[in-house]
Structure 1
Amino acid sequence: MVFVNYGGGGYWFFQHAPWNGLTVADLVMPWFVFIIGTSVVLAFSSMQRRGVGRLQLLRKITWRTVVLLIIGFCFLNYSPRDGPLSWSWLRIPGVLQRLGFTYFVLSLLQTFWGQNQIPERAPQWRSAAQDVLLFWPQWLIIILLETLWLCVTFLLPVPGCPAGYLGAGGIGDDGLYPNCTGGAAGHIDRWMFGDNMYRYPTWKEMYLTALPFDPEGILGTINSIVMGFLGMQAGKIIVFYKGKNIHILCRYLVWAVILGISAAILSKCTRDGGFIPVNKNLCSYLCRSLSYVTAMGCFSFLLLGAMFFIIDVNGWWRGQPFLYPGMNSIFVYVGHSLLGFYFPFSWEIGFQQSHWELLLQNLWGSGLWVLIAFLLFKKKFFLKI
């Protein structure tokens, strides 16, 4: 857990880690991307069983992606802290933009190479890995994409910076590389977007960085797709082993162990060391570095396995009250982004900010949105795209 003092006399709890490392807040969005991948497999499998054609699927995929991009560009660029929307600082990257593009790629993978069925009889060795072997074109594309990320990250020349630099720049690394924030990822984004990037990064005050850097930049899209693809693998296991709960839980555990060991090797079980540090900013709040993807993939398989055991196997819980925001997820997300700074969802906290007041404010705001989602459910109002 990382606690960061931002000069207000207290500590911000549930803030993202300034650069390397993990906090509770860093676990949320990777899980969301993971579940997008799982949902793509389950939804597309259902539509394909109903006879929905490939062309119709492509239309649906394209429409949903375009709507997500438009919402991200037009609605979520505004913040009360920035004043009226201005084209001069319009941010091109963004969370919904990243989610939309990730969904688009995952859906294409499922549409073109995700319709294989389980063979009735298969050799024992093949049966143990059929949910991987039957989708080798998807795996080949993902491996090529990750190879591209590794090559660009560690081999692309960045002026004035060492090859493969992964630090925050500024006063980090004893101030040796002040203009190298984000390494290759930051260099690419600054070349494409200029200063139109994320305006309130978690690392700027701590490392006194001067260069703009966007955690939802171009290069990070690759690892976001990889994170979602791990979720697709979880969905395939549910589809392939339907009714075989022990098989599903065991495979989730195996995947968690494999990914956890991979994360430990890549990071050497340290925060700032290792071959690739665990980092949320090198890619985005949605994917992070490769070691972050493997670490979050491990946690995601364990969490999904636990929920499957509690909800599907034993029926101890049906998902309430979180079921209701999930039915209107876009409405709740956009609503929070536009209104989250206003009363009654939040209020101005005194200069001496405390953990408990911040925690109470966040719980209160989240509870209000759960209540709103429940009322919309009762009124049978569902915002779908």
Structure 2
Amino acid sequence: MGNGRSGILLFVLFVSIQRSVSLTVDMLEFDEALLTVSSYLSHPINLLYVSDYCYQCLPQPLLTLPSGSSTQPVNNSVIISTRYALSVQVVNNSGNTSHLCSWEHIYEEHGHYLISVHYSLSEQNTGAVLCQESMARPPTNCYLPLLVAFVILIGVCGLYHLSGYISRLACFRRLQQYWCKRLPFFSKHVQTSENNCGEQPERPKSRRLFSLDTFRGFSLTLMVFVNYGGGGYWFFEHAPWNGLTIADLVMPWFVFIIGTSVALAFNAMLKRGISRCQLLYKLTWRTCILFAIGVFFLNYGPADGPLSWSWARIPGVLQRLGFTYFVIALLHTCFSRVQLGTEESCHWSAAVRDIVLYWPEWIFIIALETISLCLTFLLPVPGCPTGYLGPGGIGDHGQYPNCTGGAAGYIDKWLLGAEHIYQNPTCKELYKTTQPFDPEGVLGTINSAIMAFFGLQAGKIILIYRKSPLSILKRFLCWAILLGIISAILTKCTRDEGFIPINKNLWSLSFVTTLSCFSFLLLGLMFYVTDVKHWWQGQPFIYPGMNSIFVYVGHSLLATYFPFQWQMKYRMSHYEILFQNLLGTSIWLYVSYLLFKKKIFLKI
């Protein structure tokens, strides 16, 4: 009997509010749902919520409802986030803040959810408060556009490989020869052999690693897509604080490749007779150019107005890349070896000669990381616990609201000034922080140099074991396993409970080891597929990989212009924004392809 009467209450609730909230539901944007609460209680109530992603956070006010009655409930609606699961509790608002009822739910995008708060209708639980949930409008399948885009991309790739297969068929080549003999204009656009209408010439063997350019281009392509909006999906945005999303992977991969490229490029230049003083001049000049582009071009846009030193941001992505490159390149310039001799297999150092040959570099990098850890965990920060790694705000039960980033944030504000660092960190919305914090800050840049050093180590492995691809793959796998074990120990295989959680904002040590582990695995896979087995030549990622600075700077400067961005007409759907972001990314792939065909490679 009680369940039947509860059903009637929910039906009456649904009918009474269906028309009044229809316009509100239609105005929802990405990662939003509508929650309507009806109270049949005779006293006012408050609804508090906590996001499950928010670690040790204080409950936040969600909704307040005045007194109602069993015959005439009061209704109120609120837009809620669908990114993470929410824990909601109903408390008394009449002076006695007693807990009445609670629930936990993962709400879905654009759904309309109804909550009925009423006294129990059961004779056994008279006076108890119940919270019953129903749905007025089902959520949309927000992942369908992503699935459609994936299928289309797979189809395009399939057609590309099918066309390549057809072009190698004997009947197609005979038809090609027929038209080449009769249409001279046509023969100019067909790759032919010596008589312009025969077999395609074999490509000359090159010592350049296609896997390196492919990995760089893959990271850059994903970075462009993420920076353009990632289709409006939350997992293509950076994590609020601890943890990883897809967006958190791309820049560390790029940093890793910087180190690998330094090892290969500097070894080749030294073999060509370029002096170390010339290398020093080259790396210093490149660092200054990267820093200048980052500060004066990418940190600001037309919407920012005239540049003012009172609010100018000093750190940035290119600034961090430039400094990282400078540290690693300078280190390798001082201690690199032109002739990498191979010791006898019976010698004790033969198995680790890629480490032993560069022992001064290891001493320097270990000392650098020791300084970083000492500053992180031993530097006194006014008003904050020593060694604090949290976001501040409402996290950690609200005990340290102004301690965002601990020592990392304190050093940035002390060295650069609070006005000259990033004012809207990713933790601001979820953790309700008020302090500025820069994800490209000073202390994190030290750890980015550590990650580039692991990439440098990958380059050394390629140079020393270049005659044995299997040995390269084995060592890549060993490094991936070792770094994975270190990450598991540092994090205790959890997101928030470890000694040093994975954190992209801080570029924590566990973040570096985890992403370096992924980098060794991914580079090893690409090396095997492109350079060992020659199953794939890296298209289309190899094209932006060979013009990386041009693509990165260009996509940043033109991000707000058509055809890379236009005003959205259907804001509730991921289709249009996903199409917009994929189109912008594809344009840069095509531009880099044209530069590749013209053999134009823009470098600093």
Over 3 Å counting, the alpha-carbon distance change for 1:174 and 1:223 in structure 2 is same
User: Which residue of the other structure, out of 455, 471, 483, is the alignment partner of 1:231?
Assistant: 455
Query: Does 2:567 align with 1:344?
Result: no
Query: Does 2:363 align with 1:144?
Result: no
- Tell me which moved more, 115-124 or 306-315: 115-124
Residue aligning to 1:261: 485
Could you tell me how far apart the structure 2 residues matched to 1:323 and 1:303 are?
A: 15
Aligned ranges 1:128-167 → 2 under 5 Å: 128-167=351-390
> Tell me, what secondary structure is at the counterpart of 1:33?
helix
RCO comparison, higher one (Cα < 8 Å, 6+): 1
Query: Does 2:259 align with 1:40?
Result: no
Could you tell me how far apart the structure 2 residues matched to 1:353 and 1:85 are?
A: 35
Residue aligning to 1:77: 299
Aligned residues: 377
From the CA coordinates, give the structure whose radius of gyration is larger. Answer: 2
Query: How big is the shift at 1:176?
Result: 1.1
Aligned ranges 1:116-127 → 2 under 5 Å: 117-121=340-344, 123-127=346-350
> Tell me, what secondary structure is at the counterpart of 2:236?
coil
Instruction: Indicate if the aligned counterparts of 1:76 and 1:334 stay in contact, CA closer than 8 A.
Output: yes
Residue aligning to 1:380: 599
Residue aligning to 1:113: 335
Query: Does 2:514 align with 1:295?
Result: yes
Query: How big is the shift at 1:227?
Result: 0.2
Greater percentage in helix: 1
> Tell me, what secondary structure is at the counterpart of 2:304?
coil
Query: How big is the shift at 1:362?
Result: 2.4
Residue aligning to 2:402: 179
> Tell me, what secondary structure is at the counterpart of 2:284?
helix
Instruction: Indicate if the aligned counterparts of 2:423 and 2:435 stay in contact, CA closer than 8 A.
Output: no
- Tell me which moved more, 353-362 or 103-112: 353-362
User: Which residue of the other structure, out of 323, 327, 331, is the alignment partner of 2:542?
Assistant: 323
User: Which residue of the other structure, out of 207, 210, 219, is the alignment partner of 2:434?
Assistant: 210
Query: Does 2:325 align with 1:103?
Result: yes
Query: How big is the shift at 1:318?
Result: 0.8
Query: How big is the shift at 1:346?
Result: 2.2
Query: How big is the shift at 1:204?
Result: 1.1
Aligned ranges 1:22-41 → 2 under 5 Å: 22-41=244-263
Over 3 Å counting, the alpha-carbon distance change for 1:350 and 1:125 in structure 2 is farther
Instruction: Indicate if the aligned counterparts of 1:78 and 1:84 stay in contact, CA closer than 8 A.
Output: no
Query: How big is the shift at 1:80?
Result: 4.9
Query: How big is the shift at 1:326?
Result: 1.8
Q: Deviations over 1:250-275 (max 9, x none)?
A: 00000000000000100001111100
Q: Which amino acid aligns with 1:86?
A: S
Query: How big is the shift at 1:122?
Result: 5.5
Q: Which amino acid aligns with 2:420?
A: N
Query: How big is the shift at 1:331?
Result: 1.2
Over 3 Å counting, the alpha-carbon distance change for 1:162 and 1:358 in structure 2 is farther
Could you tell me how far apart the structure 2 residues matched to 1:239 and 1:93 are?
A: 34
Q: Which amino acid aligns with 1:317?
A: W
- Per the normalisation by structure 2, the TM-score is 0.60
> Tell me, what secondary structure is at the counterpart of 1:161?
coil
- Tell me which moved more, 344-353 or 213-222: 344-353
- Tell me which moved more, 262-271 or 349-358: 349-358
Could you tell me how far apart the structure 2 residues matched to 1:182 and 1:131 are?
A: 36
Could you tell me how far apart the structure 2 residues matched to 1:363 and 1:383 are?
A: 24
Query: How big is the shift at 1:43?
Result: 0.3
Q: Which amino acid aligns with 1:207?
A: Y
Residue aligning to 2:173: none
Query: How big is the shift at 1:309?
Result: 0.5
Instruction: Indicate if the aligned counterparts of 1:18 and 1:202 stay in contact, CA closer than 8 A.
Output: yes
Q: Which amino acid aligns with 2:356?
A: L
Q: Which amino acid aligns with 1:340?
A: A
Instruction: Indicate if the aligned counterparts of 2:241 and 2:503 stay in contact, CA closer than 8 A.
Output: yes
Could you tell me how far apart the structure 2 residues matched to 1:315 and 1:107 are?
A: 30
Could you tell me how far apart the structure 1 residues matched to 2:310 and 2:569 are?
A: 32
Q: Deviations over 1:191-210 (max 9, x none)?
A: 12222112442211111111
Q: Which amino acid aligns with 1:333?
A: Y
Query: How big is the shift at 1:124?
Result: 4.0
Instruction: Indicate if the aligned counterparts of 2:343 and 2:350 stay in contact, CA closer than 8 A.
Output: no
Query: How big is the shift at 1:350?
Result: 5.9
User: Which residue of the other structure, out of 334, 342, 361, is the alignment partner of 2:580?
Assistant: 361
Query: How big is the shift at 1:179?
Result: 0.3
Query: Does 2:282 align with 1:60?
Result: yes
Could you tell me how far apart the structure 2 residues matched to 1:327 and 1:11 are?
A: 29
Query: How big is the shift at 1:138?
Result: 0.3
Residue aligning to 1:220: 444
Q: Which amino acid aligns with 1:175?
A: G
Q: Deviations over 1:150-181 (max 9, x none)?
A: 11000101111111110111111121110000
Q: Which amino acid aligns with 1:231?
A: G
Q: Which amino acid aligns with 1:334?
A: V
> Tell me, what secondary structure is at the counterpart of 2:348?
helix
> Tell me, what secondary structure is at the counterpart of 1:89?
coil
Q: Deviations over 1:20-67 (max 9, x none)?
A: 000111111111000000000000111111111111111111111111
- Tell me which moved more, 149-158 or 117-126: 117-126
Query: Does 2:494 align with 1:270?
Result: yes
Instruction: Indicate if the aligned counterparts of 1:169 and 1:179 stay in contact, CA closer than 8 A.
Output: yes
- Tell me which moved more, 374-383 or 268-277: 374-383
Query: How big is the shift at 1:343?
Result: 1.8
How much identity, in percent, do the aligned residues show? 65
Greater percentage in strand: 2
Query: How big is the shift at 1:83?
Result: 3.6
Could you tell me how far apart the structure 1 residues matched to 2:423 and 2:575 are?
A: 26
Query: How big is the shift at 1:108?
Result: 1.0
Residue aligning to 2:13: none
Query: How big is the shift at 1:381?
Result: 3.0
Could you tell me how far apart the structure 2 residues matched to 1:345 and 1:230 are?
A: 35
Could you tell me how far apart the structure 2 residues matched to 1:217 and 1:97 are?
A: 10
Query: How big is the shift at 1:378?
Result: 3.0
Residue aligning to 1:285: none
Instruction: Indicate if the aligned counterparts of 2:240 and 2:430 stay in contact, CA closer than 8 A.
Output: yes
Q: Which amino acid aligns with 1:382?
A: F
Unaligned runs of 5+ in 1: 283-287
Query: How big is the shift at 1:85?
Result: 2.9
Could you tell me how far apart the structure 2 residues matched to 1:80 and 1:351 are?
A: 26
User: Which residue of the other structure, out of 470, 476, 500, is the alignment partner of 1:246?
Assistant: 470
Q: What is the Cα-based RMSD across aligned positions, in Å?
A: 1.9
